[in-house]
Amino acid sequence: MRQVTPSAPAPPAPWAILLAFTLVYLAWGTTYLAIREGVKQFPPGLFGGLRLTAAGLILFAFLALRGEPLRLRRRELFWVGLAGLLLFVGGNGLITVGERTVDSGVASILVATTPLWMGFIEMFWPGGERLSARGWTGLLIGLAGVVLLLTPKLQHPAQFLQDVGPFLVLGSALSWSVGSLVLRRHRSRSHLAAAAYQMVLGGGIQTLIGLGMGEATELTPEKFTPGAVYAFFHLLVVGSLIGFVAYNWLLGHVSATLAGTYAYVNPVIAVLVGGLWGEIIDGWVIGGMAVILAGVALVRTGAGGLPRQAEVEVGEEELDETLLVAQEEVI
């Protein structure tokens, strides 16, 4: 009897892939403006902490409905907890505070430096990659882009030093870089379950910090403006749910490299959306963005070789790194 071989599933229609890319670009490109608008009314600790906790609980519920295991091994908990502090207390917390004084477009460009910090820090990480000449060139170009972006502020040193916002946003990118490297070296069985634990832990600690700083007294009824409330739910629903679902669907149908193009598109979207909202778009912003993204492109292709402790499973590592950096856009 002739055996019938099941046919491969049909590839998705081009319009479906285009729609998924559009959702990812718009969902994550608008998160920076939503944070900026949210912290104009809500205190940053509670605004970021409660949203992160809610996103983590939703992710737990999603995984439970899929029947995926939620328990982590005991040895995983330490690294997941450390990563949660770095990613969500340091990474998310600092940018939420920083955007009180930094325009959303500028913040998105500064956050785009994350691969630069990862490339630099990993050189000193045990078993880490070494940057090639191309990578070093990209690193220097990217840092020059940061200086170019901040040139208008640097022309007034006293005012620049009084505004810690840009430093907080850069600190957010740096903290996220260290947390990402921790997770790359200490992988969990389930990336999504680990992310849920990290969000709940990081969000819970942010909330406690906010309460400890007396932010609860700032949540007066007049703070709950339609714009601020929408910003909260935009980040939770559009950024954390719609964007993440569309991105994970893309990873199943296109390469991780192609899906990762959001890292170059999102700052452009954020700058344009911020400009429509009244933020300044001048030559310094455009020039700084172009130079930083050029440096990031060189660094991402300029590693000297595979990590000495991970010379196999290249595709899996690329996917893990793409998910890690994407997680930053989600929250």
- The ranges assigned to domains in the chain are 20-330
* Residues 160, 270: Cα–Cα separation, whole Å: 23
pLDDT at 222: 94
Q: What is the pLDDT along the chain (331 residues), one digit of tens a residue?
A: 455 555 556 778 888 899 999 998 999 899 999 999 999 999 999 999 999 999 899 989 988 998 888 888 877 888 888 988 998 999 999 999 999 999 999 999 999 998 889 888 888 887 777 888 888 899 999 999 999 999 988 888 777 778 899 999 999 999 988 988 888 777 777 777 888 888 899 999 999 999 999 999 999 999 999 999 999 999 999 887 888 778 878 878 887 778 778 888 999 999 999 999 999 999 999 999 999 999 999 888 776 544 444 433 444 455 555 555 555 555 5
* Residues 282, 277: Cα–Cα separation, whole Å: 14
Number of H helices, E strands in the chain: 18, 0
Which of 203, 261, 212 shows the shortest CA–CA distance to 232?
203
pLDDT at 305: 45
Using an 8 Å Cβ cutoff, are 318 and 254 in contact? Answer: no
* Residues 269, 252: Cα–Cα separation, whole Å: 24
| pTM for the predicted model, two decimal places | 0.85
Residue type at position 57: L
Using an 8 Å Cβ cutoff, are 88 and 201 in contact? Answer: yes
Alpha-carbon separation of residue 103 from 16, 106, 255, 262 (angstroms) = 33, 5, 33, 20
306 three-class SS: coil
Q: What is the dihedral of CA 43, 46, 52, 58, to 10 degrees?
A: -120
pLDDT at 77: 84
